[in-house]
Structure 1
């Protein structure tokens, strides 16, 4: 066996100390040497007592998949959260992207013309929730299709039927 690369890491969380060694190696004894990854873990509690130990030897081609499976399995077994998941490939193409002034004007025009949230979402390649959230920013009432938001009393002028304040 010949070691190609080795990384050692020590991590302290709460009361435990984890020592992780990741080695990439090639078995020269085999007829067809293939790169392998050996992961060794040792963990000690506050008094140095062992709380975890073990090793895993995998083909380098499946190392990422094994790492994901171990992570998912541990987190689901312990009930720990994993954080936000990656969005699916089927999400709208423009979801989360910034709006331009031209897009805002088109959104306002389509809403006032009577298009539905679903139609507008399809046109802009965004989610219906994103469209509903953007409508008030362009002065449109997301609760009343085809309508603008009312002018608040504090901003009314004589032309609006009120007195300026």
Structure 2
């Protein structure tokens, strides 16, 4: 079996990212980011079946593009971080998020609505998107609750997946 290795690097701001991909027969990807002083500021590794590389690459590209579109602030920078970053979510903030999301029109722009709600709740768009699933909302479609299957995937069984009216809310009490 022949081992194939691909290496490349890119500089983004003050960080240089280096990717090493090796196939022998499984795929191994190693990514490291170093700042100008040589300090490690990012790292990660993946091990994949050889036939999954192209499809996983496409998936990673889509996810990273989507996260970039949401404009999440860089985690290392206190400047520009939302006021509630790293703070626990309150029940009131969760209810406000849930009500705003479920009250939105299904054709509302997802990324724009997430940015607007993130600003209003003083959270990052990534934090807000993550919290949507936890409160029973479909983070991909404004106005839509999670389906029962999606709730299972996100581990939010027992929540009402955003139903309103006389059905129980996410804490098991009447929504009225």
Higher relative strand content: 1
Higher CA-based Rg: 1
TM-score, structure 1 as length reference? 0.42
TM-score by length of 2: 0.40
